[in-house]
Chain A
């Protein structure tokens, strides 16, 4: 089993792993000949399945992989990988390879940095008379090379350990829409979530006080409300509108985006007849102001915020709403020629009311 490659676009790579690490630490990384897959399936919350063409983050010419099963499955702590990748910024070359140390498998990240040292350092100017022309040759800048190797402990997963893992299967979406800028969406979502949580925090003393003799009931209610993080209600229609709502006892706040794009599905995959039967086409037929034309999901505000951290890659995101059931986000990285190939898919379950 061999794996060795030069890295390229290390900033993209590190932003990618940073976004992934917000959802979970344990990442299944699958190296294949053409693509690299990253999968995070946390105990609860959103799972993400990412598929990146090798040449997006690795140098194709130096990419070597040898394995009996044509793929290497690695379990890696993705936040450790993110930290390691930070040392590659500004490096002149960086290499990732699979290796072993005391029978423990490792990913070794080797980074070569070249620094220009200032010529007039104390060492270089030693003995030189300042201001004399003939010694300037000794004072020229020097290049200094530094090799850094970081070892990231990993687990090799046998093919049998991963064959039971499949991407979730979802019904056809009711509404598909391109999300507005994720940074903006995230800041508004975060604000909503804060609003709802500070609101319930402020309310709790009130509950306790008013329930004076009934203290045990009050404490129960407090514990309950602490467990249930605020739920955002996200909905969209096929007329380019996206709505974000949070409601508590004290307030109801809603933001509505309009003029967004409902992208057409690729007609190559489906016949015209099937096309007209898609739930999204039925939803498109419903009027703009009709509430039944909206597909709605209820999601955990904190989890949603972690998902939106992928915005740092400034991707294009298509959100697919399956009414009252799930939200699937297709996150396409910028600069990927073929969106089909480089895609992160987030599966978010909807909470029931």
Chain B
């Protein structure tokens, strides 16, 4: 029987990079769709990480969709109403398997390995002969409903096969809903800025992350850590008055704005009320019931779990909806070092593919709840 799904990738490192972003959970729910594989990891229904392995990441992607019908499709707002294979696997094991890829590079300079020199990433090393990478491939296969997800990795002389037991997803498992029609905040900036800010706050081991955004007054955009053993600390993304705003940055008028207008064509007349310097897009439009400032609290420990994604991503889009659900969407430009040495088919650009990893967080309703949560955590 033909397997339900087969995907061949020549760059397991890309898969690893994306999946490691959501590696905070030991298990992930996988859904196979005609466009790619959707990996979702969650924690306590208040944090969800989504990584989508687009089929463009695979050199061959075969999915025979129609054979599988008895699937639970509840809770997928944007997926088409077709029963796609849906199962849970051990994410930790999957990541570890993908890491076996490239292990040969480490062992090649035999005899010199005793020196305690730090090993650079073998895949991107300048001394890696691209020809050596040619006979590698990584095959993901899901034979039929209930079969294990198998990952086969072949490198010169060694063939590694990992079969991950697949589990039925829980019935009530659903995505954290982000109300796309009720987005009241959207901030786009380089992910490194967010990563630095979170890293800075992390050093005081806070329990709560307070997010504060306002289009009119300072601080325009600030993140604070509170509730830790030390005092509260705040990172404020300030407005640099002296720097010219680049043409690609959108000004934001002082007046109340609707989100549909991103303001990019606005005259620079309103420059005195500029947006934080590091942001590319800064739209804050709280409903009138909230006043003009958006304030939400999140569990810091949960935000921290997105740190890996923050560090590998280029850009992040920070969105909040009316209910306070926070979405961090990371744009990851995968470097294409490895296949660049390979002959690439005509028309295929050597630029690495761009992928997205999504995190969603449920807000803390008030501080009492935060403290309650912490007690539960500490037991």
List the interface of chain A (C-beta within 8 A of B). 15, 180-181, 183-184, 187-188, 191, 194-195, 198-199, 202, 249-259, 311-312, 314
A188-B100 in contact (CB<8A): yes
CA distance A187 to B157 in the complex (A): 15
CA distance A257 to B160 in the complex (A): 9
6 more A-B residue pairs beyond the given contacts A199-B92, A253-B93, A255-B159, with a C-beta to C-beta distance below 8 A = A180-B157, A183-B106, A191-B96, A251-B148, A251-B162, A256-B158
Query: What per-residue 1/0 map shows which CB atoms of B307-327 lie under 8 Å from chain A?
Result: 000000000000000000000
CA distance A231 to B100 in the complex (A): 19
The answer to whether A181 and B93 touch (CB under 8 A), given A251-B165, A255-B158, is no
B96-A198 in contact (CB<8A): yes
List the interface of chain B (C-beta within 8 A of A). 26-27, 90, 92-93, 96-97, 99-100, 103-104, 106-107, 110-111, 113-114, 148, 157-165
Contacts of A254 in B (CB 8 A): 160-162
The 3 tightest CB contacts between A and B, nearest first, are A184-B107, A183-B107, A202-B26
CB closest chain-A residue, reference B97: A253
**Complex A-B: 21 CB contacts under 8 Å:** A15-B114, A187-B103, A191-B96, A191-B99, A194-B96, A199-B92, A199-B93, A250-B93, A250-B164, A251-B162, A251-B165, A252-B162, A253-B93, A253-B97, A253-B160, A253-B163, A254-B160, A255-B100, A255-B161, A258-B159, A314-B110
B110-A183 in contact (CB<8A): yes
B167 to chain A, nearest CB (A): 9
Contacts of B158 in A (CB 8 A): 180, 184, 188, 255-257
Contacts of A194 in B (CB 8 A): 96
CA distance A198 to B164 in the complex (A): 14
A112 to chain B, nearest CB (A): 24
CB closest chain-A residue, reference B96: A195
Q: Which of A187, A250, A251 contacts B107 (CB 8 A)?
A: A187
Contacts of A252 in B (CB 8 A): 148, 162-163
B103-A184 in contact (CB<8A): yes
Contacts of A249 in B (CB 8 A): 165
A256-B159 in contact (CB<8A): yes
CA distance A254 to B93 in the complex (A): 13
B90-A250 in contact (CB<8A): yes
CA distance A254 to B151 in the complex (A): 10
B160-A188 in contact (CB<8A): yes
CB closest chain-B residue, reference A243: B159
CA distance A157 to B160 in the complex (A): 48
A193 to chain B, nearest CB (A): 11
Contacts of B161 in A (CB 8 A): 253-256
CB closest chain-B residue, reference A260: B157
Task: Please indicate which of the listed interface residues A191, A199, A251 has the most CB atoms of chain B within 10 Å of its own CB.
Answer: A251
CA distance A191 to B99 in the complex (A): 9
Contacts of A250 in B (CB 8 A): 90, 93, 164-165
A13 to chain B, nearest CB (A): 13
A198-B160 in contact (CB<8A): no
CA distance A151 to B13 in the complex (A): 50
B30 to chain A, nearest CB (A): 14
A312-B165 in contact (CB<8A): no
B370 to chain A, nearest CB (A): 23
CA distance A271 to B120 in the complex (A): 52
B357 to chain A, nearest CB (A): 22
Task: Please indicate which of the listed interface residues A252, A258, A311 has the most CB atoms of chain B within 10 Å of its own CB.
Answer: A252
B110-A255 in contact (CB<8A): no
CA distance A249 to B27 in the complex (A): 13
B40 to chain A, nearest CB (A): 17
CA distance A314 to B165 in the complex (A): 37
The answer to whether A187 and B106 touch (CB under 8 A), given A199-B92, A202-B92, A253-B163, is yes
Contacts of A180 in B (CB 8 A): 157-158
A341 to chain B, nearest CB (A): 21
Contacts of A256 in B (CB 8 A): 158-161
B238 to chain A, nearest CB (A): 42
Contacts of A251 in B (CB 8 A): 90, 93, 148, 162-165
Contacts of B100 in A (CB 8 A): 188, 191, 255
A188-B103 in contact (CB<8A): yes
CB closest chain-A residue, reference B100: A191
B192 to chain A, nearest CB (A): 29
The answer to whether A195 and B93 touch (CB under 8 A), given A183-B110, A253-B162, A254-B161, is yes
Contacts of A259 in B (CB 8 A): 157
Contacts of B26 in A (CB 8 A): 198, 202
Contacts of A255 in B (CB 8 A): 100, 158-161
A191-B157 in contact (CB<8A): no
CB closest chain-B residue, reference A194: B96
B111-A314 in contact (CB<8A): yes
B257 to chain A, nearest CB (A): 46
Contacts of B157 in A (CB 8 A): 180, 257-259
Contacts of A191 in B (CB 8 A): 96, 99-100, 103
Contacts of B111 in A (CB 8 A): 314
B140 to chain A, nearest CB (A): 14
CB closest chain-A residue, reference B26: A202
Contacts of B162 in A (CB 8 A): 251-254
B104-A184 in contact (CB<8A): yes
Contacts of B104 in A (CB 8 A): 184
The answer to whether A181 and B160 touch (CB under 8 A), given A191-B99, A191-B100, is no
A208 to chain B, nearest CB (A): 12
A178 to chain B, nearest CB (A): 13
Contacts of B103 in A (CB 8 A): 184, 187-188, 191
B252 to chain A, nearest CB (A): 45
CA distance A314 to B109 in the complex (A): 11
A183-B92 in contact (CB<8A): no
B378 to chain A, nearest CB (A): 15
A235 to chain B, nearest CB (A): 15
CA distance A191 to B163 in the complex (A): 15
CA distance A258 to B157 in the complex (A): 6
A232 to chain B, nearest CB (A): 14
CA distance A180 to B103 in the complex (A): 13
CA distance A340 to B90 in the complex (A): 47
CA distance A314 to B114 in the complex (A): 10
CA distance A249 to B166 in the complex (A): 11
Q: Which of A15, A198, A314 contacts B92 (CB 8 A)?
A: A198
CB closest chain-A residue, reference B165: A250
CA distance A316 to B106 in the complex (A): 19
CA distance A255 to B104 in the complex (A): 13
B114 to chain A, nearest CB (A): 5
CA distance A78 to B114 in the complex (A): 18
CB closest chain-B residue, reference A311: B113
